[in-house]
Structure 1
Amino acid sequence: MTATHHTERRTGWTATGWAVLFWLTAGLGAVAGFLTWLFLYLASDVDNRSTADDFSNPHEGAVTLGLPVVVGAHLLGLLLLLMAARVARHDRRSAVRFALVALVATSLVGLAGLLALTGGDLLVPYPQPFRP
């Protein structure tokens, strides 16, 4: 047994390359999280534009169009993170914990990026504020 193999066994990672793959997947998840939350914001904007004509409930379309995309993207992200964590970690429960924590962290990073971009609005405000 080499020193590298012994160190990787003690830390819980199967190999350095698999650990890099997991963290790279998690890093790309932050970008995907931002794009997912941005899609929800843009769906609410489209809904607000159609609501202005018929005075129906605002953000109804954002929930029916945007929320399934957000949920689906998070489930796909969890699946990818679980697959990467399973080959990167020795212990199965450890892999699940790493994947769940990475999913929540990357989603929150993406959400924070969206809130910084939109001035703290998750959905486009309705009615639109007056801008001369």
Structure 2
Amino acid sequence: MVLIVDWKGCDASILLDGNSTEKTAIPNLSLRGYDIIDQAKAAIEKAFPGVVSCADIIALETRDVVALSGGLTTRYNVPTGRRDGLVSLANNVDLPSPSISVSQSIAVFAKKGLGLTDMVLLLGTPS
């Protein structure tokens, strides 16, 4: 899920193309769905030019995908008004490898101010 992967915040900077962007960083090479976000942005931009950011689209689609997969019993509101990031650097990507130990994962999340419950929720969401 693109939303979870963006550690710096929900600024959609992972969508920016270029040689050394977050999209090209090794931990992000397995991400999919960029085309869906691009299609949604194009359709929304046609109806409401300059109003809806890619960052908001990602937040809204994440909520909807979780709901459609049966992960939500109650639909929740997603505040909008995010601005898209203008900078995307591959060397800013700091994701835990799927092959690290649980204790290493806990340490990675703790460095970001997140606890064990946060880690379990975020790592368990895609499954």
Q: Same fold (TM over 0.5)?
A: no
**Higher helix proportion:** 1
- Choose between structure 1 and 2 for higher RCO, CA contacts under 8 A separated by at least 6 residues: 1
Greater C-alpha radius of gyration: 1
Q: TM-score normalised to the size of structure 1? A: 0.28
